[in-house]
Structure 1
Amino acid sequence: MAGDPPDFGAMYDADLKQRTAQLMRENPGISPEAAVKKAEAVLRANNPFIPPTHGCPVNDLPPELLAHIFQLGRKMDEEDDDEYDEYDEGVGLQDEWTDEEDGDSDADEEEEEEDEDVHMESPEKRTTALPEAAMPPDDSDEDEEEEADAPDLAFQVLVSHVCHAWREIALGTHTLWTTLQFGNHLNVEKAQAWLERAQGLPLDIYIDCTTVHGPDHDAEDEEMPPPTIPQQIAAAAAGFGIVLSFTSTATPDDAPQLEEPQPQPCIPLEDLIIIMDMITPHVQQWRLLEITVNYYSYMYEVLKRLALCPAAPLLEELGLYSYDETEEYETFQPADLATPFLPFHGIAPRLNNVALWGVHLAWDESLSLLQGLRELELAYHAKDVRPSFAALRAILDASPEIELLSLCLSGTTSDMEPFEVPSLRSLVLCYLESEYAKPFMRAVALPTLQELTLDLQEEDYTEFVTQLATPPPGETRSLLSKLTTLKLSGLPCSKTAAELVMSQLSGLQRIDLNAAAEEELRFFELLQQVEVGKPVYCPKLDTLRIAGVDGAAVRKLVAARKAAAAPVTRVLVSNRDFVDPKDEKWLRANVDELEFFEPSDSEEEVVDADDEMDEDDGS
C-alpha cells in the first residue's frame, strides 16, 4: 500500500544478502560466515541508529556549543509546555525528582547532596475518575504503558542526567535554570536548588494555585479496591462493561455514596506563603512574576508580601490573577480583605506589562509603579476598588509608549474628561455597561488605533455602535475606518447599526468573529453579502477567524467573496465547529491557508449558552 511506512528490517536484510553475495564473488575463498560478518560490519559502520564503538562524537563539540544546544532544547521544551499547559505544568517544582547520574557513581555523598537534581515534571493529576476496575480494559502493550507512566523530565534536567560531562555543562549554564513554575505539590529543597542554579540571573516566576487534585493524591501504587455498585452503575451509564458484585455487606448507614469528594488545591495557602517567603529574598532578580489563584484570601497574602518587598529593579512583567467567583461588582467582597497595597514600595523602573485581574492596588500611591507601561490589563474589579479617572489618566499619561489597554468589567467610576492616548495600537473592551462604554469612548482620542476587541453582552449597544461609526469632532474619519483588525465576541445591536459598522471598515485586513449568537452571526452574513452595483463590505479583508458556524457556511462566504474579487486568503475555524471533509478539501483548494484553532474559554461559554437555548426551544 502506498501509505505504508518503509520496512527497514527487510531493506537491511536485502542489503546484507546483496553485499554478502558480492563479497563471495570477489573473494572465492571466503566462507559464507566470514562474508556475512564482513558485510554486517560494512552496513553497521555508518548506521546512525547504532552507537559508535570508539567514543562519542558529540563529546568532541566545544562545551560552549553544547551549552547553546541545551538552551535551544530548553526553549523548545517550554514552547511545548505552553501549548499543552492544560495537561502539563512544565518545569514545576514539586515532589518527584531524582539524582541518578549515569557515569558518575564515584561522587561522594556530600557532592551528591549538593548536586541533587530537581525532577521538574508535573505529577499525575489524580482526579475523581472511576477506579480502574470500572473502566474498559486497556489492550496496549506493557512497554507502552511503562512509557506513558514514565516521568516527563524538563529538558535541562534530562541532559544533566546523561553523563558527568553533560551534567557539568548543564549545571554550569545558569541560564537554563531561570524559569520557575510552581504548579503542583511543593518541595522546598528542590525549589531552593533550582534558585541556586540560577546564580543571580533574572528570574521568570510562575505560581499557579488553581490546579487541584483528588483526596488520594498521596496514595502509593497499591491494589485498587473493586468499584462500588453505584460506581459500576455509573460506568454502565457511560457505556463501559460491568460485572455487578453483590457480596458487599453494606447497610443503609454505611452504603457507598455517589457524592464525589471535593478536589483540593495542589498548592494550599500555607504552601503559597512558603513559596512567597522563599522567593522574596530574590526580588532583585525577578524579571517576570505571574501568580494565579482561585481565592482572594491567597492573593491577599501575596499582596502583603509584595508590599514589604524593596524595589524590583529588573521586573518587566507583573501578572496577578484572582479567579474568585462573585456576582457582586458594586462593592468588593470579602470586605475585610479590601485593603489596597503598594507593591515594591512603588519602585520597578523596568516594568512595562501589567495585568491585574480581580486584584486592586492603592491606585494613587501606585503611580510611581505604573509608569512607562506598554501593556495594561484591568479586569473584574468591583466599582468601589476601581481607579479614579484621574489615576487612570495619570497612568496612561506616564506611559507614552503604551500599545495595549484592556478593560474587562473594570475601568473608572468617576466623570471623564477628554484625553488622548497617541501611542495606543490595541484596545480591548469586555463586559462593560453601555453607560460606561459610551462616555469612555467619547472622552478618549486614539489617533493610531489599529486593533479593537469587543465582547459586550446583555444590553443593546446600538447607541454605542453608532458612536464608534461617527467621526470625532474635528475629524473626517471614524475610529472604525482606521482599524486593520476587529475582534467581535459580543456586540448586540440593531441590523442597521451592524451595517453601519461594516460600512466603516474600509481598511480592515483581519476579522475575528464568534458568530454563535444571532447578533454576531449578522456580521458574518454581511461579510458574504454581494449586491450588484454596491461595494463589498471590508474590501481589504484577507484573514477570517471564525467560531460558531459550520464548514458549509464558511465555504459559502469564501466563494461569495472570491466571486466579488475580494477574496479571503487565510481562514481559521474553531475545532468545535463541524466541517465536512468535502468542505475542508474545497477550502484548502480555494484559500492559501486553512487552520483549526482551539476556542478560548469565553468563546466556548457563548457557544455552550447558545446550545442550551436551542435545546430549550426544542423541548
Structure 2
Amino acid sequence: MLCAKSTLSPRCSSCREDPPMNPSRPPTDIHALPVELLTWIFELGSAFDYPYTKSPFLLKPDQAFIYLPSHNFQVVAHVCRHWRAVALRTQHLWTTLHIREEIHIERAEEYISRCSASIYTFDILIDTVAVEDHIPGITLYSHELERIFKLLLPVVHRWRTFHLKVRDQECKLVARKYLTSCGPGPKLETLQLYHFEDFRSSDGLYRATYKPPVTIFNNALPCLKNVSLIGVNLPWKESLYLTKLHHLELALHLDSVRPPYRWWDRMLRGSPNLGSLSLHYSGPKKQDGSSELSWFSIDKKISLPKLHELSFTDLDPDFLCRLLERLQLPSLKRLMLDLREQDFTPFIDFLTSPPEHPHPASISATLPPPTQHLSSELPVQYIGRLETLIIRGLDCGLTNWAALLRTTQSLRALDVAFAKTSPDFWKLFTHEGDAHVELNRCNSAKGRRNPALLPHLEVFTLSGVSGKDILSALCYRFRCLSQSVRRSEKWIVRWSDRRRRQDPELDALVDKGYWTPTGKDATVKVFIDTFDYTEDIEGADDETPSTSDEEEDEK
C-alpha cells in the first residue's frame, strides 16, 4: 500500500514537500490516499507494539522500563506538509505521555495542546530517579516532578492510565502532595504506583514508613480496573475503590504495611472479574493473635471464577499454603513461581497432594483443622488444568518437582530458568541419575505406564542448560512419546549471536533445528527458537531491588 519513498524517516527529501501535481495523470502513490484512510493508518501505526498487550502495568518490580520504538511513531508529522496536517488532526496520536527525561516535559505539553477533545484520554508514565542518579537537565527529580504534576493536573479528568515511579523520599513527598489534592479520576482505569529506594539504614527505613498512607484521588475512581502497588501502601479500610478489579499486583511490602485479611477478603471478594493476581513479597498481613488481624476460616473461601493467571515471588511456604487454601480458582491456566532461598517442598506438596493425603508435618502446625478439603475445588485439581507453568526459581525436593510435572500433564507451555533450580531438576527430562527413580515412582503412584513427561507440551522455554544436555533431552523425549501423541514442538533457548562458538552443540541446534524419525520414513521437526536478555542468568537483574537487612528481619 505504501510506496518505496514513503518512509517514516525525515531524511526522505522527496517526501518532505508536497509532490508535483500532473493534471493529466492522477496520483497513484500514497498521496492519493483519502485523508480518512491515512488517518486510520496513523492510528494503526501508533498502536503497533501496544505496550499493554501482555499486562496493563508498564513498570516491573524486577526490571527497568522497556521503551518501545512505537512510542516515537509521531515522527510521521515530520515527513511532509500533507502528513503533518493529517497527523495534527489525528488526536489519537498525541495521547501517550511518557515522561522519562526533562525534554519529555515540553513534549508532553505540546501533546496535550494537540489533543484537546475531551473524548480522548491520556496514558501517562513518569519515571524519576534517586538524587544520587539525578543529572540536572536530563533526568527527573523532585523539581521536575513538580512541573509535571502542574502540567497534568488540569487534565486529571482525562487520565486513563497512570504509572509513577519514585526512588526516594523527596519525590515521594511531591507525589503525596499532588495525588492527595488532584481530585477525582473519573476515567482512570489503570493505576500503578512504584516506590523503592535504598534505605541504607534503619533510620532511613523508619522515615520511609512511619507516615501513614494518604487518601488519593478523593477516593473517587469509579472506572478503576487495574491496580499495581510496588512498595506503596494505601489506607486499605478507606480505599473502597479497590473492588471490581480485573488485574491486581502487590509487591515489596513489609508485613507492617500490608492489608489486614478482612480488607484483603473485601478486595478479592468484591472483584469477581479478577483475571490476574501477582504477589511479590506481599499479600495480606500475617496473624498476630489479635482479632483485628485474624484470618477468616478456610470454609469462607474466596471464589475467583475468572482468575486465569497467578504469580508468586519471594513468599514463605506456609504463608502460601494458608493463602491458597482460602481461594477457589476454577479457571486458573497460568502459574508463575519464583520461590528461592527456602525449602518450598511443603508448598509443592500442598499443590500436588490428593485430598486423602494430609498436609506435611512441617506446616501442619500452622494450618487449621483438616477441613481444607471440604471444597470441591482443591489445589491439585486446578493445578492439573494449568496450560502454562513458569518457574523463575524453585527450591524443593526432586520428588516434589517430579510430582509437580506429573500433576500438570495438560501443560502446553513450560518456561524454566534451570540455573535457578536444583541441578537435578533438568535430569527428569533426560532420565539420568536418580531422576528416573522419582519419575517412575510418580508413574507407579498414578498408575501410568507412559514415562514421557508433558505429552501435550507445545512450547518449552529454557535457560541454564547446555546444548549437549538439550540434545539428550530431545532424543529421550521423542523416544518416550508414543506415536499417537508425537507432534512438532517449539523449544525456545537462551542464545544470541554474541554467544556463538561458546556452545557448538547449541549453535547447531539453533541453526538446523532438531529432526527425529517417527517410523515409515517420516520425521518430526522440533523448531528451535531463541531469546536473550542482558542480565546474567546466575544473578539478579540490575534493576532488581535488593532486600535490606531490615526487610529480612520483617520476614
TM-score by length of 1: 0.65
- Residue in structure 1 matched with residue 92 of structure 2 by the alignment: 175
Structure 2 residue 462 is matched with structure 1 residue 546: yes
Q: 2:102 aligns with which of 181, 185, 200?
A: 185
1:284 to 144, 151, 157: 157
Q: 1:444 aligns with which of 316, 327, 333?
A: 327
Q: Is the 8 A contact 1:372 1:402 kept in 2?
A: yes
Q: 1:575 to 1:333 in 2, by over 3 A?
A: farther
Task: Flag the 1:409–1:606 CA change in 2: closer, same or farther, 3 A.
Answer: same
Q: What residue number does 2:419 align with?
A: 516
Once residues 176 and 129 of structure 2 are traced to their aligned partners in structure 1, the CA distance between those partners, rounded to angstroms, is 17
- Residue by residue over 1:495-542, the C-alpha shift from the partner in whole angstroms, topping out at 9 and shown as x without a partner, is 2222222221221221110100352x4333213437895432222222
CA distance in 2, matches of 1:484, 1:174: 40
Tell me the residue number matched to 1:463.
346
Residues 16-65 of structure 1, C-alpha deviation per residue, up to 9 Å, x if partnerless? xxxxxxxxxxxxxxxxxxxxxxxxxxxxxxx99xx976456433322112
Structure 1 partner of 2:36: 64
Partner in structure 1 of residue 232 of structure 2: 359
**Change in 2 beyond 3 A, CA 1:217/1:162:** same
After TM superposition, give the deviation of residue 207 of structure 1 in Å. Answer: 0.9
Instruction: Tell me how far 1:216 sits from its aligned partner.
Output: 7.9
User: What SS is found at the alignment partner of 1:482?
Assistant: coil
**Alignment match of 1:203 (pick from 122, 132, 137):** 122
**Partner of 1:18 in structure 2?**
none
Residues 336 and 385 of structure 1, relative CA distance in 2, 3 Å threshold: closer
1:537 aligned residue (453, 463, 467): 453
- Partner in structure 1 of residue 513 of structure 2: 587
1:113-141 Cα distance to aligned partner (Å, 9 max, x none): xxxxxxxxxxxxxxxxxxxxxxxxxxxxx
Question: By how many angstroms is 1:398 displaced?
Answer: 0.9
Among 261, 278, 293, the residue aligned to 1:406: 278
Distance 1:516 1:77 in 2: 30
Secondary structure of the structure 1 residue equivalent to 2:424:
helix
Instruction: Give the counterpart of 1:497 among 389, 400, 413.
Output: 400
Secondary structure of residue in 1 paired with 2:126: strand
Report the more deviating stretch, 507-516 or 577-586. Answer: 577-586
Q: Would the alpha carbon gap of residues 212 and 437 (structure 1) be closer, same or farther in structure 2, given more than 3 Å must change?
A: same
Does the 8 Å CA contact 2:131/2:141 hold for their aligned counterparts? no
Correspondences of 1:259-338 after superposition (within 5 Å): 266-326=139-199, 333-335=206-208, 338=211
**Structure 1 Cα separation of the partners of residues 80 and 474 of structure 2:** 56
Q: Secondary structure at the match of 1:546?
A: strand
Distance in 2 (CA, whole Å) between partners of 1:336 and 1:86 is 25
1: CA distance between counterparts of 2:278 and 2:112?
A: 33
Counterpart for residue 494 of structure 2: 574
Compared CA separation, residues 53 and 308, structure 1 to 2 (3 A): closer
Distance 1:427 1:190, change over 3 A: closer
Q: Distance in 2 between matches of 1:183 and 1:430?
A: 28
Q: Aligned-residue CA RMSD in angstroms?
A: 3.5
Return the alpha-carbon distance in structure 2 between the equivalents of residues 174 and 323 of structure 1.
35
CA distance in structure 2 between the partners assigned to 1:382 and 1:546 by the alignment: 32
Aligned equivalent of 1:424, options 299, 307, 316: 307
Q: Structure 1: state its 5+ residue gaps.
A: 1-46, 93-153, 219-264, 609-619
The aligned runs of 1:112-123 (5 Å cut-off) are none
The answer (yes or no) to whether the contact 2:130–2:167 under 8 Å persists in 1 is no
Residues 252-301 of structure 1, C-alpha deviation per residue, up to 9 Å, x if partnerless?
Answer: xxxxxxxxxxxxx7001110121012112211101111112222542342
Aligned to 2:249: 377
Q: Distance in 2 between matches of 1:563 and 1:457?
A: 33
Distance 2:327 2:189 in 1: 27
- TM-superposition CA deviations, 1:543-580 (whole Å, max 9, x none): 11111112222222222111112657011112377653
- Bigger relative contact order, structure 1 or 2 (CA pairs below 8 A, ≥6 apart): 2
Query: Retained in 1: the 8 A contact 2:388–2:413?
Result: yes
- The CA deviation string for residues 333-389 of structure 1, in whole angstroms up to 9 with x for no partner, is 4246632022212222221111111111111111x2211111100000111111111
Q: 1:49-103 CA deviation, whole Å, 9 max, x = no partner?
A: xx976456433322112212222332337779x9xx97867688xxxxxxxxxxx
Contact 1:376 1:404 (C-alpha < 8 Å) held by counterparts = yes
Q: Which amino acid aligns with 1:558?
A: L
CA distance in 2, matches of 1:449, 1:401: 13
Secondary structure of 1:549's counterpart equals: coil
Instruction: Kindly provide the amino acid, as one letter, of the partner of residue 155 in structure 1.
Output: F
- 1:583 Cα offset (Å): 2.6
Q: Secondary structure of the equivalent of 1:406?
A: strand
Instruction: State the AA in 2 paired with 1:572.
Output: I
Instruction: Say which SS state the counterpart of residue 348 (structure 2) adopts.
Output: helix
Q: Secondary structure at the match of 2:539?
A: helix
CA gap of 1:63–1:411, structure 2 versus 1, over 3 A, is same
Whether contact under 8 Å (2:510, 2:529) holds in the other structure is no
**Gap change, CA 1:398 and 1:329, over 3 Å in 2:** farther
What is the aligned partner in structure 2 of residue 135 from structure 1?
Answer: none
State the alpha-carbon separation in 2 of the partners of residues 438 and 602 from structure 1. Answer: 31
Deviation at 1:438, TM superposition (A): 2.3
- Cα distance in 1 for residues equivalent to 2:352 and 2:338: 17
Structure 2 equivalent of residue 486 of structure 1:
389
Instruction: Return the alpha-carbon distance in structure 1 between the equivalents of residues 180 and 503 of structure 2.
Output: 52
CA contact (8 A) 1:489 1:603 kept: no
The match for 2:539 is 605
The 3-state SS of whatever aligns with 1:308 is coil
* Deviations 1:137-177, CA, capped at 9 Å, x for gaps: xxxxxxxxxxxxxxxxx332x33233333222111111110
**Aligned partner letter, 1:370:** L
**Is contact 1:295–1:322 with CA below 8 Å preserved after alignment?**
yes
Q: Work out the CA distance in 1 between the residues paired with 2:19 and 2:325.
A: 73
Matched, 1:166 2:78: no
Indicate the residue corresponding to 1:22 in structure 2: none
How many angstroms apart in 2 are the aligned matches of 1:381 and 1:489? 20
* CA–CA distance in structure 2, aligned partners of residues 515 and 62 of structure 1: 54
Aligned-pair CA distance for 1:591: 4.1
SS in 2 for 1:365: coil
Work out the percentage of aligned pairs sharing the same amino acid.
28
Moved more, 322-331 or 167-176: 322-331
Following superposition, the deviation at residue 607 of structure 1 comes to 9.6
Q: Please show how residues 94-133 of structure 1 align to structure 2 within 5 Å.
A: none
Secondary structure of 2:174 counterpart: helix
Counterpart AA for 2:510: E
Task: Check whether the contact 2:495–2:532 (CA below 8 A) recurs between aligned residues.
Answer: yes
Residue 564 of structure 1 aligns with which residue?
Answer: 480
Report the alpha carbon displacement of residue 189 of structure 1 after superposing the two structures with TM. 4.5
Distance 2:194 2:281 in 1: 14
Q: Aligned partners of 2:353, 2:190: CA distance in 1, in Å? A: 36
CA separation of 1:187 and 1:596: change in aligned 2, threshold 3 A:
closer
CA distance in 1, matches of 2:150, 2:70: 20
